[in-house]
Structure 1
Amino acid sequence: MSDHKNYLRAIRLINIEDDKCDFETGKIPIRQHINANYFFAQTDVSTLEKIPHPAPRRQYVITLKGKLKFEVSNGNTFIIEPGVILIANDTLGFGHTWEIIDGNEWERIYIPLEADADDYFTAD
C-alpha cells in the first residue's frame, strides 16, 4: 500500500446472513474527524472473554495493550493488537468471541459511533 502513511490498518466486524457475523480487512484515513460524542477506557477481561456476543453498539475499539484472537460466528479468525483499529459493527445475531493470546491484559478505548455516522472504513 503506497499510501500507508495516510491510513491506519483496520478490521471491521459485519453482520451476515443467518444471524452470523464475519469481518473484513481494510483501512481508515488518518486525521479524519469521527462523529462521536464520548469515549471510555476499559481494562476488564473477565466478563466477555471467550463468550459469544454481538457488539452493544457500533464503535471503534482502539487497543493500547494486548494481543487478541477474535473468532466470528462463521468460524473465521483474526488478530487484534496495538496498531490495528477494530470497528465493531456486528450489533445483531451471535456476534464474536475473543481471547487474549499474549499476556493477560487488554487495555482499550471504545469510541461509540453516532447511529448515522460514517465509520470511514475502506475494505482492501
Structure 2
Amino acid sequence: MIRCVRIWTAEDGDSHFQDGHVDLSRGERGDSLSAVLGAAGVSFRETKAGGAFAWHDAPVRQLVLTLSGTLEFVTRSGGRFTIRPGDVLLAEDTAGTGHFWRLVDDQSWRRAYVILAPDARVPFVAAAPAT
C-alpha cells in the first residue's frame, strides 16, 4: 500500500487533510497497479535539512512524491501530519488559509512534483475513521 495524504481547502477557507492510500486494485504479473492519471508536467526539487516554508497554498493541484526527508505539515486550524519518504501528498489546497511545512530530520527533502491534468482523477482512498 502506498500512503497518500490529501490536503484541500474546505468551505471554511481553511486547509484540511485526510490520511489514506493510493488505490492499487488493478494488476498483472502479481503486481498491484493504479489507474493511469493525466499529468501536465513533472519537476524535481531539493530543500536542505532544516528547511521550512511559511504559510502558503499549493500553486496548482499536484502530487508531491517524497524521495527523502521527513516533514511536518501544519494547517491554520492546528491540524498536523507527517510525510515520510515513499509517501504521496495530494495537494489540492490552492486557495484559502494554506499550510506550512518544516523538515524534522537531518535529511534534505528531495521530491517530485506531478502537476495534474485538469480532469485527472486521483485514485485516493480515504482511511477509515478511527473508532
Q: TM-score, normalised by structure 1?
A: 0.86
Measure the CA separation in 1 of the matches of 2:86 and 2:47.
20
Aligned to 1:4: none
Structure 1 gap segments, 5+ residues each: 1-6
1:96 matched residue in structure 2: 99
Deviations 1:46-65 (A, max 9, x none): 9x824000100010000001
- Distance, in Å, in 2 between the alignment partners of 1:94 and 1:45 is 26
How many residues get paired?
117
Partner residue in 2 for 1:3: none
Q: Structure 2 residue aligned with 1:119, among 117, 122, 131?
A: 122
1:63 alignment partner AA: T
Is 1:26 the equivalent of 2:20?
yes
The one-character-per-residue Cα deviations of 1:66-119 (angstroms, maximum 9, x if unpaired) are 000000122100000112111001111111100000015110000011112101
Gap regions ≥5 residues in structure 2: 25-32
Which whole-Å deviations, capped at 9, do the CAs of 1:24-51 have from their partners, x for residues lacking one? 01111243212113211001369x8240
**Which residue of structure 2 lines up, in the alignment, with residue 17 of structure 1?**
11
Q: Contact 2:61/2:115 (CA < 8 Å) preserved in 1?
A: yes
Tell me the amino acid that sits aligned with residue 95 of structure 1.
G
Moved segments of 4+, more than 6 Å = none
- The 5-angstrom pairing of residues 39-78 of structure 1 reads 39-44=42-47, 49-78=52-81
